[in-house]
Amino acid sequence: MRTVAVTGATGFVGSETLDQLLAAGFTVRALARRAQPERDAVTWIAGALDDVGALDMLMQGADVVLHIAGVVNAPNRAGFEAGNGIGTANVISAMHRAGIKRLIHVSSFAARNPWLSDYCWSKHLAEENVRASGLDWTMVRPPAVYGPNDTEFVEIMKVARFGIMPVPTEGRESLIHVADLARALVLLCGETGDDFYSEIWEVDDGTPNGISHIELAAAFGRALKRRVIPLPLPQSLLMLFAHADRLVRGPKAKLTKDRVRYMCHPDWVIDPAKRPPSQLWRPRISADEGLAEVAATLRH
């Protein structure tokens, strides 16, 4: 069985993927900023994406690199560039030094619209670095990823419990449960994945044409077993909230202007032509099932 070098293994997507890699019999080398508990078949490497020595250690003995780590919140463009563009370039350089050819790169729908925000631009930059790498790469672009350990959806659901859910005035999006995303990544790390070099996969829960913000509020209501009224807010008002969050929390603000532009974009629906081959991978968890799982965590 192959050895997989993983970045971002302690994050929301990474921790689920790590569990599934181990269950599938892979050996894992994983990069982590902080000390982690010992696990069978896991070698933890202390360091980050800007640590050349740590990246070189991460690559030792690896057959495949699974690059999950990235930045979703940053105070400015430089922060996004460092975490996404430069971080990915550093991983690629370490692979070249180690002579490893196979790269699974976890991107984002954001990369499709580099003009929209600094985050989108940085994810596009990361993809450009992968394309120019000369490696045997496959990229996976997930839409909104959620699950019981996802802080973002949990925070939205905490608000929805009061019977109201602020949403952008228009737009549709695709969703995917973290366990389904992880299954796709594990598939690509194995020999089966070698048939998909230079391909981009867009994965979702299988809902045709995604879900509108109004429909998402209704889905939250079903999960919470109560009526949830959507509250459409224009981008101008959300920008005011972002300004206020910046004043209160400074660089730690969650609702940034960059994030508002991302939220208000009308089309975050996957391209069906980029779905993985159905004979190899299909989503197993619907939005209703997955959101009910998230809601259950709030009752404990």
Kindly indicate the confidence band of residue 238, based on its pLDDT and cuts at 50, 70 and 90.
confident
Over the Cα atoms of the chain, what is R_g? 19
- At residue 37, φ and ψ (nearest 5 deg) are -65, 145
At 120-147, the pLDDT tens digits run: 999 999 999 999 999 999 999 999 999 9
Position 276, amino acid: P
Contact 60, 98 (CB under 8 A): yes
The confidence score (pLDDT) of residue 254 equals: 67
Of these ranges, 149-163, 255-269, 278-292, the one predicted with the greatest mean pLDDT is: 278-292
The number of residues in the chain equals 300
116: which residues sit within 8 A by CB, 6+ positions away? 110, 261, 262, 265
Residues 285, 205: contact at Cβ < 8 Å? yes
Number of H helices, E strands in the chain: 11, 14
Report how far residue 31's alpha carbon sits from residue 47's, in angstroms, rounded to the nearest whole number: 6
- Indicate whether 242 pLDDT > 80: no
d(CA 47, CA 233): 41
Confidence of residue 264 (pLDDT cuts 50, 70, 90): confident
At residue 300, the pLDDT reads 57
Report the topology of domain 3-143+176-204+270-284.
Rossmann fold (3.40.50)
